[in-house]
Structure 1
Amino acid sequence: MTGFKEYDQYDALGLADLVKAGQVTAAELLEESILRTEKINPRINAVIRPMYDIARARSKETVEGAFAGVPFLLKDLIASYAGVEMSCGSRFYRGYIPNADSEYVARFKRAGLNIFGKTATPEFGITPSTEPELTGPCRNPWDPLRSPGGSSGGASAAVAAGIVPMASASDGGGSIRVPASCTGLFGLKPTRGRVPSGPDHPDGWFGFIAEHVVSRTVRDSAHMLDCLQGNYPGQLLRIAPPAGSYAGAIAAKPKKLKIAWSLDPALGETLHEDCRQGVLETVKLLESLGHICEEVKLPINKEEFIYAYTVLVCSEMAATLKEGERILGRKSKPSDFEARTWALMKLGRSFNGADVANAVWTMAQFSRQWMTFFEPYDALLTSTLGELPIAVGGLRPTPQELIELKALSYLPIGFIAKQKDFVLKAGRRVYQYCSQTMPANVTGQPSMSVPLHWNAQNIPVGMMFTGRFGEENVLLGLAAQLEQAKPWADKRPPIHAGI
């Protein structure tokens, strides 16, 4: 069967409109996506589990929804697809097959999307670079020596390389926005509770994780959020529904906004010059569009935040190990995991209940201070990252760090818990890289990376806008205005299936 050569001219909604009009079939779109996967995936390693037979059968069915017939890829983490392996980037989960769809996946299906494969993720989504030992490193289509980011690196690489116009993604510390920035895409992390992730894995990482998509266009993201948002029976965290549709928000006349902006390195030590330049240029663009921009200093105690965040994430990793043993019915061993993951799990086990409670209180206090600071503003502009997309291997433990990580596995738990300096040192590199993204995970605010800047070497540098809790409509309206003023959807990286 032939594909559809005009594929690159359309975003996901555009492809769905063609299917509804009878100008192309779902089967033709699927075959084009498969052809593109087979052509380009050996160079980027984004799709790690093809589901071609399942998708071909679905392409013959009559489906409805905003994205009916559009090929789609699912991140191999959290999102369960009944009957299909979900390894979470880990040797431990290799061969695990869920017996039911998660609510998130069920809503993708109801939207009409045709899922034909799963994308790469780092082990349990724990790092902002997608290089799991299980499936090997994923590469950035803009520069294959660089990572596409993480943990939604496979999704972002696949979209940027033209395999699909949109793919699923999730974000616990920047995992939608980081790879969107690295690959020149639009990525919105919704408000906490906006998109349900249950019933098996609700409120992951103490509520830090949110699920949505990465896309080439703002309208795909907005319409997809209309399909994904909303409560369901048994949902633990419920928030008020939006006043109107997100599709309507991007079509409305732009409002004049008051936008704070900052060049603070936040959780990092420095801010790369290209990131600084991107922010300054974006401020000029915003002012030319009539918005009020005000430079601010970010209210954040770096050391307190990093320690509390690490305590909570490592504790969650320890619980993930315990839950995995229950689900799989077998005990784990160090060889089941990457050295860093095992060390983080061991570290998580070392914290007691008081340590975890203190970390929760620290984050609650941070959130109150941050929200008070945020109150006068409609949005906050920073760079998405503190640096350019990192080199493949740039976050791997050094030989000395591997020795330290392995030694950690044999230390008494009581001793480990006292090593605050070790905790801060171990995360320094990651917090320098993802220096801006994590506060919005803690507060639950919506936050988006917008592809507004490319440096002199043609490497994308995302700009991040964070909005008030529950106000995705404001962010999406602003993104649509910026997209019109400075279009990016037709930019193509050197590695692209359509070239």
Structure 2
Amino acid sequence: MSVETLLWEEDATGLAARVRAGDVTPGELVEAAIARLEAVNPDINAVAEKLYEEARRQAGTVDRAAPLAGVPFAIKDLGIAASGVPTHGGSRVPPFTPDFDSVLTERHRAAGLIAVATSTTPEYGLRLMTESARFGVTRNPWNTGHTSGGSSGGASALVAAGVVPLAHASDGGGSIRVPSACTGLVGLKTARGRVPLSPLTSESWYGFVVDHAVSRSVRDSALLLDLTHGPDPFAPYAAPAPRAGFAAAAARDPGKLRIGVYRGSPLGMDISAETLTALDTAVSLAKEGGHQVEEIDLPMIDRAFMAGFARCVASAVAGSTRQEATRLGRGMRGDLERATRLIARLGDVVTAGEIYATLERLRAACRVMLAATARFDAVLMPLIAHPPLPCGAMDPKGIDVFLEEALDRLRLTRLLRVDRFFDELLDKSLWFTHWPAIQNVSGQPAIALPVHVTAAGLPLGVQAAGRPGDEETLLSLAAQMEKLSGWRTRRAPLKRPV
């Protein structure tokens, strides 16, 4: 078996075991990852920066006793610092090149991971499809005419294409889980405070954003979380310590769980038959695992909730673009994509008092939701309302282009304070992804489960949301469903190694 085939077939845990056994060296794995990336990236366009020379250097010095020694990896081009590596955030704005590492970067390296590239993201992570004016369209290895999701779409494309077995990702409104659902991967959105974002920032988007990874297997996600979780001195808050460890949880039988199933749309918008089939598949696997399943509703999660989330994100984007202007010493909104600029301007016209009141309303709704679902160990619900979309499907067209240009050129963003106009914008932004922002607001952990492949051959995952701070139960459940379904052996058909 060639090293490239080994890289394509194994998960990170398996590759690390091969390194420890002496079957393969870190240098061989890095070279295989580079060769694989060069072979498939023209098809998927998932790379922001190539880190080949540094990866080769690290392969020669990595501690082979490290838990994931020599395993090739990718880091997202957003929200994490690696010294000397330009961070573009998917934008034409001049990049930020840090002279320090994030705490998470240090933990990745201590685990033995070797980054071979940074992965593409839409501008500032604001779309759930990875398409940007800076880097172009990132494509799905299962079908390159379709999206790999966003905003960690470059990460998911690299993992699904067999370049790396797992990759750093972040999630502020579904950006780990949506790409996983689109590309047949496991994507754990961790509990708020589980993994520090420092020293780059203390929190992002009012605490909505968390960092972790997309992976081929549940055990990889669990092991990586064991190696990277825990606060540091700059962390503003911390998630509860795990009871026995995340890898241990993924390795044990979950016992008989009580699981809720939510089928509704908080936006009241259409849900495809394929999405409901995927949810039914997850329900069937849960029942096969011996769990008690109950259909529920979440009336407290409605259009007002989703609108509040969107306004808070706009406020955060307005603030971050001001920070970027300070860094550059000049105005930079002219460098932004039109849609990003409109979101920032919307954030400018929402007052601080309104955002505070909105956050309080969101948190109150989450308290009601958590109380209503406290009897469940997990709640199954969709992630994407339709199978992975064709590339470009969410671009404005026709009259929408005219309206966006008018709002932008005439600076009429205040019209978006009118509910009718804002509702139209909300629907256009979230018709593909109605659900994932719920857990970003609540701070709950949630995991994308790659339960279904459509008749057209595209993955379509759903999610399980857990109790606050309880990734262990989710990982135990997900590992059981992985074993029952056999999804861990699925691979995208793109340029299968020979």
Q: TM-score range by the shorter chain?
A: over 0.9
The correspondence of residues 218-297 of structure 1 with structure 2, limited to 5 A, is 218-297=218-297
The correspondence of residues 429-468 of structure 1 with structure 2, limited to 5 A, is 429-468=428-467
CA-CA distance at 1:414 after TM superposition: 8.5
Contact 2:8–2:163 under 8 Å retained in 1: no
Taking structure 2 as the reference length, what is the TM-score of the superposition? 0.96
Contact 2:266–2:306 under 8 Å retained in 1: no
Provide closer, same or farther for how the CA distance between residues 268 and 143 of structure 1 changes in structure 2, counting only shifts above 3 A. farther
Aligned residue in 2 for 1:71: 72
Tell me, in whole angstroms, the C-alpha distance in 2 between the residues paired with 1:310 and 1:203: 17
Q: Aligned pair 1:185/2:185, yes or no?
A: yes
Q: Secondary structure at the match of 1:13?
A: helix
Q: Secondary structure at the match of 2:196?
A: coil
The gaps in structure 1 that reach 5 residues or longer are none
2:476 corresponds to which letter in structure 1? Answer: G
Tell me, in whole angstroms, the C-alpha distance in 1 between the residues paired with 2:238 and 2:279: 34
Aligned residue in 1 for 2:90: 89
Aligned residue in 2 for 1:324: 324
Deviations 1:82-115 (A, max 9, x none): 10110000011x3421111111111111111001
Q: Aligned pair 1:138/2:159, yes or no?
A: no
Tell me, in whole angstroms, the C-alpha distance in 2 between the residues paired with 1:200 and 1:57: 25
Provide closer, same or farther for how the CA distance between residues 415 and 31 of structure 1 changes in structure 2, counting only shifts above 3 A. closer
CA-CA distance at 1:417 after TM superposition: 5.9
Aligned residue in 1 for 2:403: 404
Tell me, in whole angstroms, the C-alpha distance in 2 between the residues paired with 1:157 and 1:326: 33
Q: Secondary structure at the match of 2:188?
A: strand
2:72 corresponds to which letter in structure 1? Answer: P
Aligned residue in 2 for 1:488: 487
Aligned residue in 2 for 1:118: 118
Provide closer, same or farther for how the CA distance between residues 134 and 399 of structure 1 changes in structure 2, counting only shifts above 3 A. farther
CA-CA distance at 1:416 after TM superposition: 4.0
Tell me, in whole angstroms, the C-alpha distance in 1 between the residues paired with 2:350 and 2:95: 31
Tell me, in whole angstroms, the C-alpha distance in 2 between the residues paired with 1:457 and 1:5: 26
Q: Percent identical across equivalent pairs?
A: 36
Q: Secondary structure at the match of 2:468?
A: coil
Aligned residue in 2 for 1:315: 315
Larger mean Cα displacement after TM superposition, 35-44 or 450-459 = 450-459
Provide closer, same or farther for how the CA distance between residues 414 and 3 of structure 1 changes in structure 2, counting only shifts above 3 A. closer
Provide closer, same or farther for how the CA distance between residues 32 and 415 of structure 1 changes in structure 2, counting only shifts above 3 A. closer
CA-CA distance at 1:411 after TM superposition: 4.8
Q: Secondary structure at the match of 1:32?
A: helix
Aligned residue in 2 for 1:10: 10
Tell me, in whole angstroms, the C-alpha distance in 2 between the residues paired with 1:418 and 1:433: 23
Taking structure 1 as the reference length, what is the TM-score of the superposition? 0.96
Tell me, in whole angstroms, the C-alpha distance in 2 between the residues paired with 1:241 and 1:286: 27
Contact 1:160–1:496 under 8 Å retained in 2: no
Deviations 1:31-63 (A, max 9, x none): 000000000110000122110011111111032
Tell me, in whole angstroms, the C-alpha distance in 2 between the residues paired with 1:418 and 1:265: 24
Contact 1:306–1:424 under 8 Å retained in 2: no
The correspondence of residues 349-498 of structure 1 with structure 2, limited to 5 A, is 349-411=348-410, 415-416=414-415, 418-498=417-497
Instruction: Count residues in correspondence.
Output: 496
Aligned residue in 1 for 2:162: 162
Q: Secondary structure at the match of 1:408?
A: helix
Larger mean Cα displacement after TM superposition, 98-107 or 130-139 = 98-107
Contact 2:173–2:208 under 8 Å retained in 1: yes
1:397 corresponds to which letter in structure 2? Answer: P
1:67 corresponds to which letter in structure 2? Answer: L
Provide closer, same or farther for how the CA distance between residues 112 and 397 of structure 1 changes in structure 2, counting only shifts above 3 A. same
Provide closer, same or farther for how the CA distance between residues 100 and 413 of structure 1 changes in structure 2, counting only shifts above 3 A. farther
Aligned residue in 2 for 1:106: 106
Q: Secondary structure at the match of 1:149?
A: coil
Contact 1:68–1:112 under 8 Å retained in 2: yes
Deviations 1:271-295 (A, max 9, x none): 1101111212322221122100001
Provide closer, same or farther for how the CA distance between residues 268 and 164 of structure 1 changes in structure 2, counting only shifts above 3 A. farther
Provide closer, same or farther for how the CA distance between residues 380 and 91 of structure 1 changes in structure 2, counting only shifts above 3 A. same
Contact 1:299–1:369 under 8 Å retained in 2: no
CA-CA distance at 1:224 after TM superposition: 0.3
